[in-house]
Amino acid sequence: MSARAAAYRSRWVEPSILPGFNLTLGISVAFLTAIVLIPIAALVLKAGSMPLDELWRIATEPRALASYRLSFGASLIAATLNAVFGFIIAWSLVRYRFPGRRFVDAIIDLPFALPTAVSGIALATVFSPQGWIGRWLEPLGIQVAYSWVGVVVALTLIGLPFVVRSVQPALAEVDATLEDAAESLGAGRFMTFRRVILPTVAPALATGFTLALARAIGEYGSVIFIAGNLPMRTEITPLLIVIKLEQYDYLGAAALGLVMLSISFVLLLTINALNGWRAARALGRRR
């Protein structure tokens, strides 16, 4: 390498005696560009090729608005349910010893590994009015399958591991001496929880919530079987994109795709910021 090249390189990469920087960074950037960046750029360009008012018209037509409402509403409810129940499950796993604890700990990740088509048809069948669970809910007047409730159930299932796996390590790190101190100073159980435990776990809980939300908004496979897919009522945005594609309405699909992509970016940035918050917290605690 010439001296000039070396000087140029040192401006953006710290010198190191380890080899392989050019090779591995080259492979990374090349793959990233070919597999992720160029295809996503194609979507942005396609949507950007139409006039802005046209883009706005497609993105805000009533059927699209109804689909956003369902996708966001159901995802928010599901992520909230996950935050509550995920926290309780994480708490039980970290704080208590009970028969079957290791089994429960192991199956938490199952929604990660289970193909969405499988969980989709399983939930649709179990929660249908004749299904194993649905038949008990039917007399109570609760219809899960083919309604927005079913969408929430499916999104809750796929989001569950995110909250549990984020909160678990944070709960394990809560300093027991702080809790004892709070209790010995007269704080009740609820106060100890609110003032000592919750602040420590909050960043992890927020990360888990956001991860579950991000996953839920984009989810397709596990929802379409249980949702019923009625336009304006139980049609999620990803499904509307698929329908537009099947009608060869590529511009319409690209417009809705751009909306969803923007939301993904915002959530990705939120997750990054939350990770930063968590890291800052962790450093602060250690000092």
Partner 1 sequence: MIAAAQGVRADAANDAGSRVVRIALIGISLLFLTLILIVPVIAVLGHAFADGLDVYLAAITSPETLSAVRLTLTTAAIVVPINTVFGVAAAWAIAKFDFRGKHLLVTLIDLPFSVSPVIAGLVFVLLFGAQGRLGPWLDAHDISIVFAFPGIVLATLLVTFPYVARELIPVMQMQGREAEEAAISLGANGWTTFFRVTLPSIRWALLYGIILCNARAMGEFGAVAVVSGHIRGLTTTMPLHVEILYNEYDLTGAFAVASLLMLLALLTMIAKTTIEHYGLTRRRRLPHIPRGPKRNDPGISA
> By CB under 8 A, what part of segment 62-121 binds partner 1?
85, 88-89, 91-93, 95-96, 98, 100, 104, 106-121
Residue 6, judged by CB atoms within 10 A of its CB (0-12, 13-18, 19+), counts as exposed
Q: What is the DSSP letter of 36?
A: I
Do 101 and 93 meet the contact criterion of CB atoms below 8 Å apart?
A: yes
Query: What span, in angstroms and rounded, lies between the C-alpha atoms of 150 and 200?
Result: 34
Q: Does 186 bind partner 1 (CB under 8 A)?
A: no
CA distance 71 to 131: 25
Site for partner 1 in 5-34 (CB under 8 A): 12-14, 16-21, 23-25, 27-29, 31-32
Residues 143-172 that bind partner 1 (CB under 8 A): 153, 156-157, 160
Q: Is residue 139 a contact residue for partner 1 (CB under 8 A)? A: no
List Cα–Cα distances, 286 to 144, 173, 279, 280, 282, in angstroms.
47, 11, 11, 10, 6
Q: Find, among 241, 200, 244, 197, the residue nearest to 223 by Cα.
A: 241
Judge whether 201 and 174 are in contact, CB under 8 Å.
yes
- Give the range of 165-173, 198-206, 227-235, 264-272 binding partner 1 by CB under 8 A: 264-272
**Do 124 and 226 form a contact (C-beta atoms < 8 A)?**
yes
Site for partner 1 in 208-237 (CB under 8 A): 214-215, 217-221, 225
Considering the complex, what minimum distance in angstroms separates the CB of residue 61 from partner 1?
Answer: 18
Indicate the residue type of 235.
E
User: From the CB of 178, what's the least distance to partner 1, in Å?
Assistant: 18
CB-CB contact of 101 with 89 (8 Å): no
Q: Which of 89, 37, 57 is nearest to 205 (CA)?
A: 89
Q: How many residues touch partner 1 (CB under 8 A)?
A: 96
Nearer residue to partner 1 within complex by CB, 21 or 56: 21
Q: How far is the CB of 168 from partner 1 (least distance, A)?
A: 12
Segment 30 to 59, residues that bind partner 1, using CB under 8 A: 31-32, 35-40, 42-43, 45-46
Taking the complex as a whole, how short is the minimal distance between the CB of residue 10 and partner 1, in angstroms?
Answer: 10
Pick one of 135, 189, 194, 195: the residue that binds partner 1 (CB under 8 A): 189
Q: Which stretch binds partner 1 (CB under 8 A): 59-67, 129-137, 167-175, 197-205?
A: 129-137
Which position has the token pair 């496979």? 221
Gap between the Cα atoms of 79 and 161, Å rounded: 11
Q: How far is the CB of 166 from partner 1 (least distance, A)?
A: 12
Asked if 275 is part of the footprint of partner 1 (rule: CB under 8 A), the reply reads yes
CB nearer to partner 1: give 37 or 198: 37
Least distance to partner 1, CB of residue 60, Å: 19
Query: Tokens representing 154?
Result: 């499916």
Block residue for tokens 């007269």: 186
For partner 1, the closer of residues 59 and 260 by Cβ is: 260
CB of 26 to partner 1, least distance (A): 8
CB of 16 to partner 1, least distance (A): 6
Cβ atoms of residues 58 and 257 within 8 Å? no
